[in-house]
Amino acid sequence: MIRTRLAGFGLAYFFVMGVVASYWPVWLQSRGVDGAEIGTIYMARQVVTVAATLAAGWVVHRFVGQRTAMLAMACAGIAAMTLYEVAWGFWALLAVTLARGALWEPLLSQNESIVVSVTRERGIDYGRLRIWSSLAFIAGVFGVGLVVSRFGVPWVLYLMLLGSLLVVLAILLSPRPTIAAPGAAPAKPLSVRALLRQPAFLLVLVAAGCSQASHAVLGSFGTISWRAAGISDLVISALWIESVAIEIGLFVVAGALTRRIGPVGMLTLGATTGIVRWLAMPWLGTDLAALVVLQALHAGTFGATHLGAIAFLQRAIPAASMTQAQSLYYALSSGLIGALVFQLAGTLYERFGGLAYLAMAGLSGISLLACLA
């Protein structure tokens, strides 16, 4: 039962992520924005996400219960998303995206702090629990591809809203971690400054952040470029599904693999896989046979990277500080680095097309250097 409650949020949230990751740029394009403007919208969302995620972590620690804060953010975020229905053009879409980023995006780091703490307390394999989130992502990708092929691009937004409503239910059912052992005095949480003074923690943020941000060109323009190359919507959905299905295989063996090579080994695997993947994309990124191979590398570029970072947090961060640590991880690693790279990705793609992936290979190289350090 505890596993079901832990998995519920991931099922709903990652269904929405599957919808957004594969077809949101297409939906934005249908509302009258070009490639560079899509990059700016993604960057702006990331920037506001950084501030909002850090602020949410601070507020939860000091003033409001975690579940109360998450429910408030989720409901307000859904209200903001409904405004997309009447938003057309760059400035209107940007305004709604900023509101959504501030209210919705911090939910993931808050939930992850619960999941990481409870899995550590109960001895639950995080990787195997994460499988359900990946299956939900696949359902979102497959569902949106099927629906768009039959009913059109506007249904991207409607599926996103449906999944978002399920997130609220999952928050209500989520368990609460035990911060201190029964009878023990609650541990004092580490401050943000204390966490950021730890060299290993900073290097993990850089390694994970650069690897995750290296997906910017693919996430922003993969579907657009595949459509332009004549690949059908259902095949595009299958390519996104394949990448996550292979990732699930990694999650099944994640516990044993992480024990063998350690968190830094997992991060290194993600970085090296990224170098290979992004160096190949400029020349093979619209060849269907090659894409089947390259999409399988997602298990390394995202899966191994995320699992390595989470394994580090589980081993290095006390329960009382997990919310702050997760907020920093998502805000600075996934958020700040991603914000800068999304803007760069849009500009590079508009000017150089598929050669923009070479910059993503450079990011994976920086991640590898952080791992070695």
User: Reduced to 3 DSSP states, what percent helix, strand and coil does the chain have, rounded to the nearest 5?
Assistant: 85, 0, 15
pLDDT tens across 187-208, in order?
A: 566 777 888 889 999 999 999 9
What was the pLDDT predicted at 44?
Answer: 83
Q: Please enumerate in sequence order all residues whose Cβ is within 8 A of that of 261, keeping only pairs 6 or more positions apart, or say none.
A: 269
Instruction: Give me the pLDDT at residue 183, please.
Output: 44
pLDDT score for 188? 64
In angstroms, the CA 182 to CA 254 distance is: 31
Task: Report d(CA 240, CA 234) in Å as an integer.
Answer: 10
Global pTM value:
0.80
**Which segments in the chain show pLDDT lower than 50?**
180-186
- The reported pLDDT for the residue numbered 125 is 87
What pLDDT sits at residue 41?
87
pLDDT score, position 23? 84
Helix 305-316 × helix 126-151 angle, to 10°: 140
d(CA 93, CA 96): 5
Q: What is the pLDDT of residue 48?
A: 87
Q: What pLDDT, on a 0 to 100 scale, did the predictor assign at position 257?
A: 95
Q: What's the pLDDT score for residue 180?
A: 45
Q: Which residues contact 322 (CB under 8 A, 6 or more apart)?
A: 113, 116, 117, 177, 313
Number of H helices, E strands in the chain: 17, 0
